């Protein structure tokens, strides 16, 4: 059974770069697409973008200038970088496996990242 | 402002039936993209509830069902139970945005 686990700093200063990694266990990363979804406190879900095991990416247009995703098939993990963060980027960040049919399953447990000085 | 529109809240008594609507447009649901539903229990990650408009993953009770028509979709929950209290999100693909989109979420309260 595939499991995903996010890791990274829980606190990032404004204007700095948020970096998270998602380790995939119980299955190979070398198929499907892999997605980052975030949820600000008390708000809804936002798809930030996805990366295929080949390295091809699709980013949310609203974040495109600040987002970079990468994949390391040798470590079975993928990563997110978000630059120039502000308080509006405070959210729980989930890494998720995207299915060919367009749905997301499974989800990581999520990690709260707070942007504050 | 979410691309897919859901009611902010719905409620029902134990044993009753409730429905949650998800309204889109001609660039997402109306463009024949599938609708998927997720359940988010308090303090936990969302969990896939319905995929491909009406399919239940293994382990999801048949009290949960989904449907789609035109530019809208619905999630129905029958035989409401206390542990159904959660936030529910619909999700689809939007070809004008070239990305996956979610509804704003609906909070279900079991009275």
pLDDT over 90 (residue A2): yes
DSSP secondary structure letter of residue B57: P
Measure CB to CB from residue A44 to each of B44, B48, B104 and give the nearest one: B104
Q: Could B97 and A106 be called an inter-chain contact, meaning their C-beta atoms sit closer than 8 Å?
A: no
- Rounded CA-CA distance A54/B107 in Å is 38
The SS3 assignment for B32 reads coil
Chain A positions in Cβ-Cβ contact with residue B42 (cut-off 8 Å): none
Please give the mean pLDDT across all residues of chain B. Answer: 96
Q: Which residues of A touch B102 (CB under 8 A)?
A: 44-47
B46 to chain A: closest CA residue: A107
For position A31, what pLDDT does the model report? 80
**The pLDDT of residue A75:** 94
Q: What is the average pLDDT across A105-110? A: 97
Q: Which residue has the higher pLDDT, A54 or A82?
A: A82
| For residue B1, pLDDT beyond 90 | no
Contact residues for A16 (Cβ-Cβ < 8 A; gap 6+): A85
pLDDT score at A32 = 87
Give contacts of A 17-46 with B, CB under 8 A.
35, 44-46
Confidence tier at A35 by pLDDT (50, 70, 90): very high
In a 10 Å sphere around its CB, with 0-12 CB exposed, 13-18 middle and 19+ buried, how is residue B21 labelled? Answer: middle
Interface mutation target, options B27, B73, B100, B102, chain A, most CBs of A under 10 Å:
B100
- Cα distance between residue A72 and residue B53, in whole Å: 33
The span from the CA of A22 to the CA of A53, in Å, is 13
How do residues B17-70 score in pLDDT, each as one tens digit? 999 999 999 999 999 999 999 999 999 999 999 999 999 999 999 999 999 999
């Amino acid at each position: 059974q595939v499991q995903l686990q996010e890791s990274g700093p829980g606190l990032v200063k404004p204007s700095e770069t948020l970096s998270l990694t998602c380790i995939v266990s119980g299955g190979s990363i070398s198929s499907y697409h892999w997605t980052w979804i975030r949820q600000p406190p008390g708000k809804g879900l936002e798809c930030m973008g996805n990366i295929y095991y080949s390295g091809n990416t699709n980013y949310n247009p609203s974040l495109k200038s600040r987002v970079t995703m990468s994949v390391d098939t040798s470590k079975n993990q993928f990563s997110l970088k978000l630059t120039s963060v502000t308080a509006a980027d405070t959210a729980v960040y989930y890494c998720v496996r995207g299915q060919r049919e367009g749905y997301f399953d499974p989800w990581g447990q999520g990690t709260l990242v707070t942007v504050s000085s | 402002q979410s691309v897919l529109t859901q009611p902010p809240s719905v409620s029902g008594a134990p044993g009753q039936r409730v429905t949650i609507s998800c309204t889109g447009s001609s660039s997402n649901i109306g463009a024949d993209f599938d609708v998927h539903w997720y359940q988010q229990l308090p303090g936990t990650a969302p969990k896939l509830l319905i995929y491909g408009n009406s399919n239940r993953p293994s382990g999801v009770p048949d009290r949960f069902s989904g449907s789609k028509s035109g530019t809208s979709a619905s999630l129905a929950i029958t035989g409401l139970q206390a542990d159904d209290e959660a936030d529910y999100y619909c999700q689809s693909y939007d070809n004008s945005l070239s990305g996956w989109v979610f509804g704003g979420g609906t909070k279900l309260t079991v009275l």
